[in-house]
Structure 1
Amino acid sequence: MKRYTLQKTPFVVPTTDGKLIEEHFGNATNNNSDVSIAHMVAPPKWSEPFQVPEFDEYTYIIKGKKQFIIEGETIILEAGQSIKIEKKARVQYSNPFDEACEYLSVCLPAFSLEKVNRED
């Protein structure tokens, strides 16, 4: 019995906003609801609606910058920086800058559309 899982073909989540989402482990890839790990690239001028997720989200910036509005406070992360946003925090993610932002995201428990609670 193998005591590891090698991921060579992450699930590419279909999007309509130009954002690349490659889920390596999680609900979409291997039905893992405990944790999701995704590589993402947010294009310039990209943004999502505010949301109140039912999971903790850790973000590590590889390249570029990403803006977070958390409970009304604006934070900008740059390459090499990371953040943990606790579940039930009202947050908006965006890249209002002129270059793409490449980052890793880890959600505990795993990301799901049912648990992200995006606002209209």
Structure 2
Amino acid sequence: MAKKYFIQKTPFVVPTDDGKLIEEHHGNATTNNREISIAHMVAPPHWSEPFQTPTFDEYTYIIKGKKQFIIEGETVVLEAGQSIKIEKNARVQYSNPFDQPCEYLAICLPAFSIENVNREQ
């Protein structure tokens, strides 16, 4: 009988050039799952991404530090122990303008992909 579970021991580490750690545990890059992606991330101090308008819902849970979100023009800051759901098609910018790293989990439904994140130049 085949096992009805899978333990991820070797997440895919997404190559970045901005110092951010992205370990995808489940999703397009690791398990070929297009329905959901689950990633552990660490954003270094003073890190930011360009604005984007993803076609997926994104849930974020902060483990350590703080993270800033600009969602449809409104600035929201989350701290350790807090979480947020950002609905698909919302224009958002993620950043860590603070002096400490921010460790968090990100879950995307459907799974994250470069094609559906729609980052601005």
TM-score when scaled to structure 2?
Answer: 0.99
- 1:117 deviates by 0.1
Structure 2, unmatched stretches of 5+, are: none
- 1:9 deviates by 0.7
- 1:102 deviates by 0.1
Q: Secondary structure at the match of 1:114?
A: helix
Q: Distance in 2 between matches of 1:115 and 1:89?
A: 12
Alignment of 1:10-89 (within 5 A): 10-89=11-90
- 1:98 deviates by 0.1
TM-score when scaled to structure 1?
Answer: 1.00
Q: Distance in 2 between matches of 1:115 and 1:31?
A: 15
Matched residue, 1:7: 8
Amino acid at match of 2:111: A
Q: Secondary structure at the match of 1:115?
A: helix
User: Which portions of structure 1, spanning 4 or more consecutive aligned residues, are displaced by more than 4 angstroms?
Assistant: none
Task: Spell out, residue by residue over 1:40-70, the C-alpha distance to the aligned partner (whole angstroms, 9 max, x if none).
Answer: 0000000000000000000000000000000
1:112 correspondence with 2:113: yes
Q: Distance in 2 between matches of 1:118 and 1:18?
A: 18
Structure 1, unmatched stretches of 5+, are: none
